[in-house]
Amino acid sequence: MPDISLDGAIQVTLAGLSTGSVYALLLLGILIIFRVSRAVNFAQGQMGMIAAYVAYAIIAASLLPIWLALVLGIALAATIGLLTDRVLIERLAKRGALSGQDLVVTLGVMLLLTALAETFLGTQTKSFIPLGNDVQFGFRSVVVNLNQVVVLVATLVLLGAFAIFLRTKPGVAMRASAMNPDLARTFGVNVTRVKAITWTVSGALAGIVGIIIGSRLSVDPYYMTAFLISAFIAGIIGGLDRFVAPILIAFALALYQNWSAFIFGSTAGTASLFILVIVLLAILPKKFLDEKREARA
């Protein structure tokens, strides 16, 4: 057990909040898709990876200014989200397919995006641009960088905006489309368009997250996997059809991971998360665990 100074404690907590904001953003994209399409998007992480990787390739080749490369990356991720909806998910829905196929389809998209990145962008890990990670300031011996602060603030703002959005007219339209598409249509809601827009926004969100994480670590075809798993854990424990609970759990999860890594060492950090998941699911009373909708094979 290492010595815990106050500064160390603050540092670890800040790191936890910083990671938590990234989990929350990633999860937000997954949640809004689940709301409108009742689909679990396994490809969320890789859509972000493609955005960052393509942006990296453009920057490395010095083809365009950095901001434009980033925008293009995000736009690409948004387009992938849109295409997934229009070409794949909608077709499944029309077919009235066995539910649970959305899982497999988005899994397929995830594998395909990984393969494309491996083939055309290479598998070697590459350093991304700092994006404010190198601008540091601090108090006492606690060091904070610009990236962490901006992302945390932006996340909170986005989450707040989304919460408000849900109460506005288009927001209600979105909730209606999710709960009862036919009824929503009779009220004049263009359900197809709502879904398409949601997937596009989710893709853009994924792209933003991919770039943020890329700037903090490095980019390769696989770097988003761990984050996706954590985001899903938060979502599944909190409930994919809810909003406040999973987002809060996302932050809590990040704090838990950082603190247990700090106290027990990094190797224990990974294990502690999964032990927690299993224990939680073993002892939580049944009523918290029943899902509103079963996902089937």
Partner 1 sequence: MSRSSLMKRAVVIGSVAVLLTACATQSDSEDASSASGSAETTAEETTEDSQDAAESEGEVAEVCDVNGNSQGVTDDTIVLGSFTPLTGPVADPGNGAVAGMQVVFDEINAAGGIDGRTIELITADDQYDPAEAQAAARRLNEQDGVFAFTGGVGTPNFVAVLPYIQSEAIPAIGPYAPSNQVGVMDNPNVYMIWPNFVDEFQVSTRYLIEEIQPEKLAMIQMQGDVGDDALQGVENALEGSDYELDVIVPVEATTTDYSPMVQELKDSGADWVISINQPTGTGQVIQAAKKIGYEPNWLTQSDMTDGGWVGAFGADADGLIAATKAAPLSSEDPLVQEFVTNYKDTTGEDPTLWNAVGYAQALVTVEALQNAPALTRDCLEYSLQNMAGFETGLIPPVTFSADSRQGTSAVGVAEIQDGTVIQVAPFAPVS
Partner 2 sequence: MIRNSRLALLFVPLGLIVLAGAPVMLNRYWLFLVTTLFAYVIALVGLKVLFGDAGQLSLGQAAFVGIGAYTAAIVTDTLALTLPYEILVVALVSALIAAVIAIPALRVSGLRFALVTLAFGELFQWFLRDSKGLTGGEQGLFVPPMLMGPIPGKSPLTLYIVAAIGAIFFSILAWHLPKTKVGRAMSAIRESQLAAESVGVSVWRTKLFAFIFAAVSAGIGGMLLAHTSGSISPTSFGLFSGVYLLVAIILGGSRSTLGAWIGAVYLVIVPALFTTVGLDGVYVLFSGAVLLIVIMLFPAGIAGVLQQFVATRRSNKRSKRREVTA
Q: Which residues bind partner 2 (CB under 8 A)?
A: 40, 88, 91-92, 97-98, 100-101, 103-105, 107-109, 111-116, 118-119, 225, 229, 232-233, 236-237, 240, 267, 270-271, 273-275, 277-279, 281-282, 286, 289, 291, 293-297
Residue 5 near partner 1 by CB under 8 A: yes
CB 23 within 8 A of CB 284: no
Distance from C-alpha of 17 to C-alpha of 19, rounded to nearest angstrom: 5
Q: Which residue has the tokens 């920057």?
A: 59
Q: Smallest distance, Å, CB 123 to partner 2?
A: 10
| HSE-up of residue 134 (Cα within 13 Å, Cβ side) | 5
Is residue 188 close enough to count as binding partner 1 by CB under 8 A? no
Minimum CB distance to partner 1, residue 143 (Å): 4
8 A C-beta contact, residue 28 and residue 247: yes
Residue 1 binds which of partner 1, partner 2, none (CB < 5-8 A, kind-dependent) = none
Token representation of residue 252: 């809590």
Based on the shown chain and the rule CB under 8 A, indicate whether residue 145 belongs to the binding site for partner 1: yes
Unique residue bearing structure tokens 């494309």? 116
Q: Which of 160, 153, 159, 225 is nearest to 24 (CA)?
A: 159
Rounded Cα–Cα distance for residues 42 and 225 (Å): 10
CB 227 within 8 A of CB 22: yes
Burial group, residue 165, by CB count within 10 angstroms (0-12, 13-18, 19+): middle
Near partner 1 by CB under 8 A, which window of 11-19, 35-43, 172-180, 279-287? 11-19
Q: Which is nearer to partner 2, 244 or 279 (CB)?
A: 279
- Out of partner 2, partner 1, none, what residue 133 binds, judged by CB under 5 to 8 A for its kind, is partner 1
Which of 68, 87 has the CB closer to partner 2? 87
Q: Select the binding partner of residue 161 from partner 2, partner 1, none (C-beta < 5 to 8 A, by kind).
A: none
* Interacting partner of 180 out of partner 1, partner 2, none (Cβ under 5 to 8 A depending on kind): none
Binding to partner 1 by CB under 8 A, coded x per residue (else -) over 224-243, reads --x-----------------
Tell me the C-alpha distance between 224 and 46, whole Å. 7
